[in-house]
Chains A and B, each alone.
Chain A
Amino acid sequence: MTTTQPTGPSGADEEAILADITAMIALVLEDDGLGDTEVGMETRFSRDLEFESIDLVTLAGHLEVRYGREVNFAEFVASMELDDIIELTVGRLVEHVSRCLKSAGAA
């Protein structure tokens, strides 16, 4: 079992990022909430969480507040088609955030 040390964003591992993003997803869904839905790395924003594209814009705002500009969602999705963006899995976003934070920490 791994123990996560809360050493700030650059030390956060994927598990901690997944927990952060899960909390943000619940905020984005507002009244609808997450209900019994469990969010994991394979969870898809569109199909499993019923996200609309505007919900992803809101999520991008939460990401920036939490992690700062090192995690740039707009840049992450810049090379994707809109259809691919809404089919994203939570895992791909977690990996992106993790990569951004590691490179920011190494800089």
Chain B
Amino acid sequence: MAIIDVAGVHMHVQRLGPGGGRPGGDTVVLLHGLLTDSLASYYFTVAPAFAAAGLDVVMYDHRGHGRSGRPATGYGLERFVDDLGALLDRLEIPGPVHLVGNSFGGTVSFGYALRRPDRVASISVVESEPATASWARKIAGLLDRVRHEMTVNETEALDWIATHRGGHTARLARAAGRLVRDTAIAAEVTDCDLVTEDALRSLDRPVLAVYGADSDLCEQAPWLGSLLPRCRTVVVPGHEHSVLVEAPGRVRDLVLGWIAENASPGGGDEDGRDTGRDGRRAAAVPVEVNVP
């Protein structure tokens, strides 16, 4: 683990690389979702297989989440996009990277790719959408509901979650409650320049968009596919929003395929790719630590 100071916030970063002294191939950066999510959703699902496949894997907790710092303010979407750019600078990652974003992590990925397409080799998003006006309405409504529930009815809400979704989910919800109560995230996150359809039409980076067939977001698939010049959409039957943690094998294969198709020229380790979960062991590669 490394804690890296980014714009005054301590960011928790984990990096996995191919073991056995092999040079790392392309870099893939994994971005998690909002409130209850953290880099653990990747660490315990697809990340080891990505490293075993020869990729240099970077995961981090967004500001306010997981083991990263939780400032009182500074949660506009643009700040999350800034964090990604600053982190790539600090880690001195050469060449374009592959972005993988789950839910809100995908929204951040779209934001970064629109801002710096030169630094992005490909994008894979899972159950996600760009920061359009309709996204902003949805997220604002969701955060408002969570804040209300966790302020007015926290005990009842947590009891219900513990009974219906298990104790671990209830603990994640309690942490999410702290985030929405103690910080300005609910008021700030949608305060950003919204993405227009014209902007999406101009995004020439290859985008893989994966959705659960039973998720509300699934209707995004044809819309996104019609706008983005280079987009493949995949709908996974039998799943709702939690496709990443419920169908990690499927997500792993789809994303690895997409990255291989869109590898940087000369930057990859094509011959050594091994997409199996039981492939070569992934070894954690130490990352520069800089705690101010």
Binding site for B on A (CB under 8 A): 46-47, 50, 52-54, 56-58, 60-61, 64, 69, 72, 74-75, 77-80, 82-83, 85-86
CB neighbours of B281 from chain A (8 A): 72, 75
Contact in complex: B278, A79 (CB < 8 Å): yes
Q: Which of A52, A53, A74, A79 contacts B282 (CB 8 A)?
A: A74
Q: Can you spell out 7 A-B residue pairs with CB atoms less than 8 angstroms apart?
A: A54-B66, A57-B39, A58-B67, A72-B281, A72-B283, A74-B44, A80-B44
Cα(A47)–Cα(B38), bound, Å = 19
- Contact residues of A: prevailing secondary structure: helix
Contact in complex: B48, A54 (CB < 8 Å): no
Contact in complex: A53, B38 (CB < 8 Å): yes
- Kindly specify which of B103-111, B126-134, B168-176 makes contact with the partner chain: B168-176
Give min CB distance, B93 to chain A, whole Å. Answer: 21
CB neighbours of B278 from chain A (8 A): 78-79
Contact in complex: B284, A52 (CB < 8 Å): no
Does B72 sit at the interface, judged by CB under 8 A?
no
A74-B16, A77-B44 given; A54·B39 CB < 8 A = yes
Contact in complex: B282, A72 (CB < 8 Å): yes
Binding site for A on B (CB under 8 A): 1, 14, 16, 19, 38-41, 43-45, 47-49, 61, 66-67, 166-168, 171-172, 175, 245, 248, 277-278, 281-284
Contact in complex: A69, B14 (CB < 8 Å): no
Q: Which of A47, A80, A85 contacts B167 (CB 8 A)?
A: A47
Contact in complex: A57, B282 (CB < 8 Å): no
Cα(A75)–Cα(B48), bound, Å = 7
CB neighbours of B168 from chain A (8 A): 46, 52-53, 83, 86
CB neighbours of B40 from chain A (8 A): 52-54, 56-57
CB neighbours of A56 from chain B (8 A): 40, 44
CB neighbours of B282 from chain A (8 A): 72, 74-75
CB neighbours of A80 from chain B (8 A): 44
CB neighbours of B38 from chain A (8 A): 52-54, 57
CB neighbours of A83 from chain B (8 A): 166, 168
